[in-house]
């Protein structure tokens, strides 16, 4: 059984190399080969002694993700599906813009939180991704894109930002997430600044505190409702960590990451959480917490509908009116623009095709009958930015 070196941050790799009787600087060299050059074959690493390369060949590997499919939008957005074994498939999305390239990464196969408006939530939880499976999404995409864009005579440094906004709740997979974040920030690997790596959470309060201490990257909090009654219904985790506790944790987080702000994500659901009254409640909530030191901005997300949700996307006028109430109160607010519309459509088809096989009810029925088989494909959340 060989060890996948994508599972290690630099300290982990140093420990692994020490077991092989190698010094720290060898681990750094190896780390750079893997992450900066995208090497997957030890023979490429010509500045490592032949004896070390031989040792590595028998004890280690650099195992990237298995690609199921790649969809490219005319606007440059690229979406990959990766097979992570046992029928689980995850998604990774690259979103290019004039001044940056953002990679949206998954942290779990499925998700246990079960938000009503989220297709991953409807699918249920399968398992946590390993550090290697999280890192390998970046490793693969960065080196694929370098090659791909170089061929099109475009730039060679591609991914400038990472957002943990794919499938899963990253803070319910903290032990695997933390080394992955360290790899993203490490100057010997991707060297991303901590403000360019965003963890998005539905509000796992104790883990927000730990992240603030261990690795205070940018934080996005999926709020979606201005009061507990509504949030309990949309984001079930709210019953455990209600809004007041969540906002206090946000304020503590900011103490760990001075000069930063928290981004609140708010998915606009027609007739559910998009009324002027909801915006006014948010303003009052934010004003109370601003007085205690919270600084924030809002990102309003047009809902990407899927049949099982029974929910509809808010009209654009409604979203604009909602944004105006927040902005008039001095809250910086953006409306997320949808990207990759044309492959979104393909996604919708895939989702429709797959939903039958993945809905929790059907899966449970199949399990009861002992007839579950084949690949379980996730329902995609859509490409918004
Ligand atoms: N579990 C984390 C990160 C993954 S979800 C979290 O909840 O924050 C990332 C974002 O996708 C969340 O803000 C969520 O609101 C959004 N999202 C989920 N389902 C969506 C849908 N159907 N349409 C639009 N945005 C959605
Ligand atoms: Fe999980 Fe986030 Fe989806 Fe909620 S929105 S079910 S926390 S992935």
Give the tens place of pLDDT for each residue, 250-290.
Answer: 999 999 887 789 999 999 999 999 999 999 999 999 999 99
Does ligand 1 come within 6 angstroms of the Cβ of 221?
A: no
> Which amino acids bring their CB within 6 angstroms of ligand 2?
111, 113-115, 118, 120-121, 168-169, 202, 222
Does ligand 1 come within 6 angstroms of the Cβ of 201?
A: yes
Statement to judge: residues 279 and 197 lie in one domain: yes
Residue 134: phi, psi to the nearest 5?
-75, -50
Q: Which pLDDT value is given to residue 159?
A: 96
Statement to judge: residues 282 and 262 lie in one domain: yes
Residue with token string 């999280």? 134
Atom number of ligand 1 nearest to Cα 167: 4
What SS3 class is residue 137? Answer: helix
Look up 347 and say whether it is catalytic.
yes
What token pair was written down for 376? Answer: 């379980």
Look up 267 and say whether it is catalytic.
no
Atom number of ligand 2 nearest to Cα 111: 1
Rounded to 10 deg, the angle between the 174-185 and 205-214 helix axes is 30
Q: Catalytic pick from 215, 250, 267, 347?
A: 347
Do 362 and 98 touch, CB atoms closer than 8 A?
Answer: no
Q: How far is CA 79 from the centre of its chain?
A: 13
Query: In whole angstroms, how far apart are CA 20 and each of 43, 54, 103, 318, 378?
Result: 18, 11, 34, 61, 40
Q: Which pLDDT value is given to residue 377?
A: 31
Q: Which pLDDT value is given to residue 370?
A: 32
What SS3 class is residue 78? Answer: strand
Instruction: Give the total number of structural domains in the chain.
Output: 2
d(CA 381, CA 364): 22
Considering only CA atoms, which residue is closest to atom 8 of ligand 2?
A: 168
Does ligand 1 come within 6 angstroms of the Cβ of 301?
A: yes
Statement to judge: residues 44 and 148 lie in one domain: no
Do 164 and 173 touch, CB atoms closer than 8 A?
Answer: no
- Which residues of the chain register pLDDT less than 70? 150-157, 340-385
d(CA 261, CA 271): 29
Statement to judge: residues 14 and 125 lie in one domain: no
The H or E element that residue 3 is part of is strand 3-4
What is the residue range of 21's domain? 3-61
Q: pTM (2 decimals)? A: 0.90
Å from CA of 228 to ligand 2 middle: 17
Give the domain CATH number at 25: 1.10.150.530
Q: Which pLDDT value is given to residue 161?
A: 97
Statement to judge: residues 38 and 172 lie in one domain: no
Statement to judge: residues 279 and 372 lie in one domain: yes
What token pair was written down for 364? Answer: 């449970």
Å from CA of 116 to ligand 2 middle: 9
Of the residues 17, 39, 61, the one at which a domain ends: 61
Rounded to 10 deg, the angle between the 316-328 and 276-290 helix axes is 30
Statement to judge: residues 56 and 160 lie in one domain: no
Does ligand 1 come within 6 angstroms of the Cβ of 380?
A: no
Å from CA of 154 to ligand 2 middle: 35
Atom number of ligand 2 nearest to Cα 202: 7
Q: Catalytic pick from 17, 22, 91, 250?
A: 91
What SS3 class is residue 96? Answer: strand
Atom number of ligand 1 nearest to Cα 304: 23
Q: Which pLDDT value is given to residue 109?
A: 96
């Amino acid at each position: 059984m060989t060890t996948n070196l994508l599972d290690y941050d630099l300290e982990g790799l140093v420990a692994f190399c020490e077991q092989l009787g190698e010094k720290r600087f060898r681990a750094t060299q190896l780390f750079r080969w893997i992450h900066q050059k995208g090497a997957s074959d030890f023979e490429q690493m010509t500045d490592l002694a032949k004896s070390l390369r031989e040792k590595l060949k028998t004890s280690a590997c650099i195992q990237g993700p298995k690609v199921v499919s790649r969809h490219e939008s005319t606007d440059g957005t690229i979406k990959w599906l990766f097979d992570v074994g046992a029928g689980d498939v995850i998604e990774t999305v690259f979103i290019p813009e004039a001044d940056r390239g953002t990679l949206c990464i998954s942290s779990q196969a499925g998700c246990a939180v079960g938000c009503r408006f989220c297709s991953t939530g409807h699918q249920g939880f399968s398992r946590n991704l390993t550090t290697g499976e999280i890192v390998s999404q970046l490793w693969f995409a960065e080196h694929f894109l370098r090659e791909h864009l170089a061929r099109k005579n475009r730039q060679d440094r591609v991914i400038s930002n990472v957002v943990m906004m794919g499938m899963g709740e990253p803070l319910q997979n903290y032990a695997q997430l933390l080394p992955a974040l360290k790899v993203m920030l490490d100057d010997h690997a991707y060297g991303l600044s901590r403000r360019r790596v965003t963890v998005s959470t539905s509000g796992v309060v104790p883990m927000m505190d730990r992240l603030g201490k261990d690795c205070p990257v940018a934080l996005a909090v999926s709020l979606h409702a201005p009061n507990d009654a509504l949030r309990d219904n949309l984001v079930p985790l709210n019953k455990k960590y209600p809004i007041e506790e969540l906002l206090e944790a946000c304020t503590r987080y900011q103490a760990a990451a001075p000069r930063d702000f928290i981004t609140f994500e708010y998915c606009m659901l027609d007739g559910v959480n998009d009324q002027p009254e909801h915006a006014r409640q948010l303003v009052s909530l934010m004003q109370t917490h601003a007085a205690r030191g919270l600084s924030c901005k809002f990102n309003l997300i047009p809902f990407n509908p899927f049949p099982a949700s029974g929910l509809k996307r808010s009209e654009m006028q409604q979203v604009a009116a909602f944004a105006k109430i927040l902005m008039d109160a001095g809250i910086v607010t953006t409306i997320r623009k949808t990207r990759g519309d044309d492959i979104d459509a393909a996604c919708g088809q895939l989702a429709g095709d797959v939903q039958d096989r993945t809905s929790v009810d059907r899966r449970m029925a199949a399990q009861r009958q002992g007839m579950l088989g084949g690949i379980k494909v996730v329902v995609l959340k859509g490409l918004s930015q």
